[in-house]
Amino acid sequence: MSQKRILIISHSDDLHVDVLTPILERKGHIPFFLKLDAFPRDYEIFHQFNDGDWTGEIKNLITGDSVAISEIGAVWLRKSAEFSYLDEQLSEQERAFSQEETNHTLFGLFYGLDCYWINHPLANRHASYKGEQMKRAVNMGFLIPPSIITNSPNRAKDFKNSSTSEIVFKTLSSPLLGAEKITSENREVDGLRTTIIDGDLSELDAVAQLPCYFQSYIDKAFEVRVTVIEDKVFAARIDSQTDARTRVDYRDFSVSVPYQAMDLPSEVKHRCLQFLKSYGLVFGALDFIVTHDNEYIFLENNPGGQFWFVEQLVPELNMMETLAGSLIKGLEC
């Protein structure tokens, strides 16, 4: 019987994959990397049924590496990407149809795999909606900021007027504002971090265009990024309030603010583990505000969140090694 292999699903520019791959190789496991931004253009795939037997293979036409679906023992579903096709001049309808068929091809295969996942695509999808996250967080005992999702300018204005603090706008989907889904020459902006709404109320009339997500701004003592891998919880304290540029959103990486490892209060740690378990997630990246009264305020969980930048700043949070160990252990399931 051939050795089971780890399948990594992401895009060509994912630094996390570049870091994890040599760790796995050093441990004797060469993963198969499915680069979605080069699929199906640079790959050949099949899965078929003969007399009740399911067989199949994914082959990288550039490297020659291939993996049989029977060899896949663990999957790291890292990031999505737009597909690429041999014909770069597909019509709008041809591209729409091609994307649908490609999605059905891949997920028809993925959902059929009986293996270890970080995370299973159904669990990822279920856990990705912030409105539902907030309701679940409250039900599990977390504190959250006052929040509203609406396309009603009047309700948005009422929310701002009734808030005891400033309010912020946050994206429900990606802070890249869709930039990752279009070519660079057609991008208007590359993204938007959490933004304080401090203009005239008339600016909120634009809410009528599409539903928007607002929260009351919570004054912070510091922020915490929690990364969970199986039953291991890694917490980093982020002293974002030491610089005005990171006061609202710490994700301005042109600014150097202190990061350090920390121990979470036991009840917060337990809730983080239970929160992920409730979705069937193995991995999650959760963000918290800690107030001056030492209250932990849940902001969100990203089931495919970035974590390498945290480990670079806090090397004792040995998350990449932990992830590699989980994938290798998963091969034995």
pLDDT tens digits along 231-288:
999 999 999 999 888 888 888 888 899 999 999 999 999 999 999 999 999 999 999 9
pLDDT category at 89 given cuts 50, 70, 90 is very high
The pLDDT value given to residue 181 = 59
- 140 falls within a domain: no
Strand ranges, E, within 127-221: 147-150, 167-170, 195-197, 212-216
pLDDT score recorded for residue 283: 98
245, 283: one domain? yes
314-316-322 Cα angle (round to 5)? 110
Looking at the structure, tell me whether residues 22 and 69 fall in a common domain.
yes
Closest CA to 110 of 159, 161, 45: 45
Confidence at residue 196, expressed as pLDDT on a 0 to 100 scale: 85
β-pair type (32-35, 5-10) = parallel
Look at residues 200, 216, 232 and tell me which one is the last residue of a structural domain: 216
Distance in angstroms (rounded) separating the CA atoms of residues 86 and 93: 16
Query: Do 159 and 99 belong together in one domain?
Result: no
Same domain, 282 and 225: yes
Confidence of residue 308 (pLDDT cuts 50, 70, 90): very high
Question: Domain count of the chain?
Answer: 3
Please tell me whether residues 284 and 193 are part of one structural domain.
no
What confidence score (pLDDT) does residue 92 get?
93
Domain range spanning residue 238?
A: 219-315
**DSSP states of 212-242:** EEEEE----SEEEEEEEETTEEEEEEE-GGG
For residue 167, the domain's CATH number is 3.30.1490
Using alpha carbons, list the distances in angstroms from residue 268 to 27, 35, 307.
33, 36, 19
Q: How far, in Å, are 52, 166, 239, 297 from residue 243 at the CA level?
A: 62, 19, 9, 21
User: Do residues 8 and 76 lie in contact, with contact meaning Cβ atoms separated by under 8 Å?
Assistant: yes
Q: What φ, ψ does residue 233 adopt, rounded to 5°?
A: -120, 120
Q: Are residues 104 and 34 in the same domain?
A: yes
- Same domain? For 223 and 304 the reply is yes
Distance (Å, whole) CA 73 – CA 116? 6
> Looking at the structure, do residues 252 and 188 belong to the same domain, yes or no?
no
Q: Give CA–CA dist 192/181, Å, rounded.
A: 15
